[in-house]
């Protein structure tokens, strides 16, 4: 989408949503997001503790959402200013300045770590020492963390094209592109790389499985059905990364639905009406969604039946939820981390960070989780019984 058209969309969405006037009209972490008073923090009896294992600072992300990458005991994180670093159990192993603004989060495996820039550059570095390996180009700005694995670096560009680059030398292997609506939400949604396929959500609410080998579409499904008389009313985009377990894929859309599918053929298992820009997670029992009103909802993973709904965090600008054993963890726009009981959604724990929004998706580790704040603080945290 041309920059001018995006600006028109942002302004129009601003009028529709109550006065927001920037490109990030639907982003609750944006400084220009609609000013709805967040629900006050309520008192409760904690049933679990959140303990900080280590904390470091990489640098601010400002208007970008820079999700860190976790590979074993290593955490790779970046800042808008171009700083890229690796931490092993909180110890800095290396730090390098890439020489450009970083606009997409970090993707990594044990060989390569990759980031993207507003100019569409894809920069790859050696995971062991941070030395540059190669540089490639996508078709427009990169706002999402690359997916790295299976000898590939998969990058989604701002114009909704998906590029596959050879991990060894950056040579382009294929590009997937499709027709998208005239108006769409600017998003940092990435892609999910798993086995022979890649899952990617697109404007218009389409979830597509793409063949890793050649970039061909394997199947697609409509998570959202655009409704309304105008293009603005019909904006219904997947703005978060899909999730996957052994047999099922799940996704959620803005002004759409939460849906789970059979990964083998894309047939629907169930759908529930819910609007979310933050995203969802799945475990052996349920699918958990942070909706656009700041509620956390749990649906039975097999039937889609409602299990519980937690509304105490309304309008707090929640991050994607992450399922960790007996608890569900979310961050908010005031820098708090909340743990909810998996069984009933009751508040179980709370901890404050540096006071800036937790916009990046929390990342699971072997014994806890990692979050990155808008101000660039990286926290490694664990849940401990009281």
- List domains and CATH numbers for the chain: 1-35 (no CATH), 39-64+276-386 (2.130.10.10), 66-187 (2.40.128.630)
By DSSP bridging, strand 197-202 and strand 206-211 are antiparallel
**Residue 150, burial from CB neighbour count under 10 angstroms (0-12, 13-18, 19+):** middle
In eight-state DSSP terms, residue 11 is: H
pLDDT of the residue at 286:
97
- 8's CB contacts (< 8 A; 6+ apart) are none
**CA nearest to 77, candidates 58, 62, 100:** 58
Residue holding tokens 């298992």?
A: 269
The separation between the first and the last C-alpha atoms of the chain, rounded to the nearest angstrom, is 51
By DSSP bridging, strand 192-194 and strand 172-176 are unpaired
**CA nearest to 82, candidates 55, 63, 58:** 58
Q: Which helix (H) or strand (E) holds 208?
A: strand 206-211
**CA nearest to 68, candidates 82, 55, 85, 51:** 85
Cα separations in angstroms, 218 against 214, 247, 264, 325: 11, 16, 9, 33
Q: What is the DSSP string of 56-112?
A: EE----TTS----EEETTEEEEE-TTSEEEEEETTEEEEEEE-SS---EEEEE-SSE
| 363, 320 contact by CB (below 8 A) | no
In eight-state DSSP terms, residue 299 is: E
pLDDT of the residue at 311:
98
pLDDT of the residue at 195:
81
Structure tokens at 250: 């799940």
CA 279 to chain centre: 7
| 359, 374 contact by CB (below 8 A) | yes
Q: What pLDDT tens digit does each residue of the chain (386 aa) get?
A: 333 333 333 333 433 333 332 234 455 444 445 468 999 999 999 999 999 999 999 999 999 999 999 999 999 999 999 999 999 999 999 999 999 999 999 999 999 999 999 999 999 999 999 999 999 999 999 999 999 999 999 999 999 999 999 999 999 999 999 887 777 788 889 999 988 899 999 988 899 999 999 999 999 999 987 666 666 666 778 889 999 988 899 999 998 899 999 999 999 999 999 999 999 999 999 999 999 999 999 999 999 999 999 999 999 999 999 999 999 999 999 999 999 999 999 999 999 999 999 999 999 999 999 999 999 999 999 999 87
pLDDT of the residue at 229:
61
Task: Name the β-bridge partners of 87.
Answer: 75, 92
Task: Name the β-bridge partners of 282.
Answer: 287
- 161's CB contacts (< 8 A; 6+ apart) are 138, 139, 140, 175, 176, 177
- 91's CB contacts (< 8 A; 6+ apart) are none
| 105, 66 contact by CB (below 8 A) | yes
pLDDT of the residue at 349:
98
């Amino acid at each position: 989408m041309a920059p001018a058209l995006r600006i028109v969309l942002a302004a129009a969405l601003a009028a529709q949503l109550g006065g927001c006037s920037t490109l990030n009209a639907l982003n609750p972490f944006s400084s220009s997001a609609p000013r709805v008073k967040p629900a006050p923090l309520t008192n409760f009896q904690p049933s679990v503790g959140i303990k900080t294992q280590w904390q470091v600072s990489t640098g601010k992300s400002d208007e970008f959402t820079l999700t860190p990458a976790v590979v074993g005991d290593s955490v790779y994180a970046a800042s808008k200013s171009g700083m890229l670093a690796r931490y092993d159990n909180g110890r800095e192993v290396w730090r390098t300045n890439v020489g450009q603004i970083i606009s997409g989060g970090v993707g990594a495996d044990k060989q390569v770590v990759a980031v993207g820039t507003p100019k569409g550059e894809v920069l790859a570095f050696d995971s062991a020492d941070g030395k540059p390996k190669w540089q490639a180009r996508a078709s427009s700005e990169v706002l999402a963390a690359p997916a790295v694995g299976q000898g590939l670096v998969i990058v989604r560009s701002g114009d909704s094209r998906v590029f596959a680059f050879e991990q060894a030398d950056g040579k382009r292997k294929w590009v997937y592109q499709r027709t998208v609506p005239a108006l769409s939400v600017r998003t940092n949604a990435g892609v999910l790389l798993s086995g022979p396929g890649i899952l990617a959500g697109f404007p218009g609410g389409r979830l597509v499985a793409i063949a890793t080998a050649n970039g061909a579409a394997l199947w697609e499904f409509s998570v959202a059905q655009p409704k309304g008389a105008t293009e603005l009313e019909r904006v219904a985009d997947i703005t978060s990364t899909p999730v996957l377990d052994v047999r099922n894929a799940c996704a959620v859309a803005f002004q759409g639905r939460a849906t789970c599918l059979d990964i083998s053929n894309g047939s629907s298992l169930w759908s529930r009406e819910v609007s979310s820009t933050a995203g969802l997670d799945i475990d052996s029992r349920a699918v958990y969604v942070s909706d656009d009103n700041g509620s956390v909802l749990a649906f039975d993973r097999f039937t889609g039946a409602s299990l519980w709904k937690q509304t105490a965090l309304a309008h707090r600008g929640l991050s994607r939820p992450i399922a960790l054993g007996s608890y569900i963890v979310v961050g908010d726009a005031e820098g708090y981390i909340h743990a909810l009981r998996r069984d009933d959604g009751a508040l179980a724990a709370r901890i404050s960070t540096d006071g800036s929004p937790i916009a990046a998706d929390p990342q699971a580790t072997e014994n806890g989780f990692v979050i990155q704040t808008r101000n660039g603080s990286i926290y490694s945290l664990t849940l401990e019984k009281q």
